[in-house]
Amino acid sequence: MLLNRNTAVLIIAQCMYVGGTVLMVTVGGIAGSTLSPTPVLATLPMSLMVVGTALATVPASLGMQRFGRRAGFATSAVLGIAACQLAAYALNAESFVLFCLAGALIGVTVAFSQQFRFAAAESVPLNLVSKAVSLILLGSIGGAFLGPELAARSPDWTPEQPFQGAYFAATVTYALAFLALMAFRNPQPVADGDAEVEESRRSLLSIVLLPVVTAAILGGMVGQGVMTFIMTATPVSMHVVDGHSLADTAEIIRAHVLAMYLPSLFSGVLIGWIGVRQVMFLGVVALAATVGLGMLGHEFMHYWGALVLLGIGWNFLFVGGTTLLVSAYRASERFRVQAINDFSVFGISALASLMGGAVLLQFGWETVLVASTIPLLLIVAALLRIPARG
């Protein structure tokens, strides 16, 4: 059954986590600018959130291997509550260091939430994996609306320190996620047979070098890396360089976020129809079209079309890569392979986040777009090495 107890719980948790994260991204840079000793460091707390996610992916996966997914998810929700409270305290104490630490801790909670899709995949039969992953990503749509709405309303709750209200609101989202996750039951994947257990003792390197696993990991890395690289540069290019209004810039980002998650309504079904490799190829085509449209000009519609295509390309590669990965490893290998996958995906995301703005300001928007085509060649080469219906 696709919509079982676990997937329902994880959809709710995904909505709450994304809502809290989007809320903090919305106000984090602005709040950081009020505490930062220099404007150059204003976005450091948000950068540390991305770095925190990358560094925590391996401990999150291995910790859940030992203590179970339910314990890991619940712990991350408690950590999210603590991080939000620390951020609120840092604002009151005017401590930039504590605010940065809070940003990094929030990144750790995000690392745990990236395991929601694997937990959903383990809770359904193999033929429903792509649909389960898509359902979890659909939970992000609610969070994408919830976060900005809470951010807009929160200053009225704490007028003496407007940004504190946002972190109190985020505390509530993590608390609701914790309550939902209490109903989660650790899935019991099908056990390996004796012969498979022997085979599952392969080294991690030998598993990663399997063509299917390589293609799956590269799919996530390219999708997440290119998306983060271009998305990070877009607000600066639009608002600072090209002079578009802040409202127009926010509208582009909103359209991009929706384009990331709305395709989950059909991407899982599409994988069942034409195969995961074909869907990942469609993701590459969407990212290539992003570059092509972005190169045509700097008007609102050029940015809007490029960022929508960017979101669609990310979705197809991310859902496709996750589906391909789940089908490629043994049950006893899953935590190790998931750990290296998420470390690779979010490590490249952290690097792309740090580089996006710098490349834009140094070399321009067109260079950002052209540089994004290089990873596309890598994933095409990897996909050509696996079966057409792989």
**Structure confidence by residue, pLDDT tens digits, 90-133:** 998 989 999 999 999 999 999 999 899 889 988 888 888 888 88
What is the Cα–Cα distance from 255 to 260, expressed in whole angstroms?
A: 9
Q: What are the angstrom distances between the C-alpha of 78 and each of 40, 156, 179? A: 31, 26, 10
What is the Cα–Cα distance from 294 to 307, expressed in whole angstroms?
A: 9
- What pLDDT band is residue 156 in, cutting at 50, 70 and 90? confident
**CA-closest candidate to residue 264, choices 122, 120, 141:** 141
**Structure confidence by residue, pLDDT tens digits, 229-271:** 998 788 878 887 888 886 787 788 778 888 998 898 888 889 8
Residue 269, SS3? helix
What is the Cα–Cα distance from 328 to 309, expressed in whole angstroms?
A: 28
Residue pair 353/50 in contact (Cβ under 8 Å)? The answer is yes
**Structure confidence by residue, pLDDT tens digits, 262-290:** 898 888 889 889 999 999 999 999 999 99
Q: What are the angstrom distances between the C-alpha of 263 and each of 164, 326, 362? A: 34, 20, 34
Number of domains in the chain: 2
Within this chain, do residues 239 and 215 fall inside the same structural domain, yes or no? yes
Domain with residue 60: its CATH number is 1.20.1250.20
- Predicted confidence at residue 191, as pLDDT, reads 55
The H or E element containing residue 118 is: helix 116-122
- Predicted confidence at residue 194, as pLDDT, reads 43
**Structure confidence by residue, pLDDT tens digits, 55-89:** 999 899 889 988 999 999 999 999 999 999 999 99
Whole domain around residue 359: which residue ranges? Answer: 194-390
Within this chain, do residues 373 and 295 fall inside the same structural domain, yes or no? yes
What is the Cα–Cα distance from 320 to 276, expressed in whole angstroms?
A: 6
What is the Cα–Cα distance from 136 to 119, expressed in whole angstroms?
A: 10
**Structure confidence by residue, pLDDT tens digits, 170-181:** 999 999 999 999
Within this chain, do residues 208 and 168 fall inside the same structural domain, yes or no? no
Within this chain, do residues 124 and 267 fall inside the same structural domain, yes or no? no
Q: What is the mean pLDDT of the chain?
A: 86
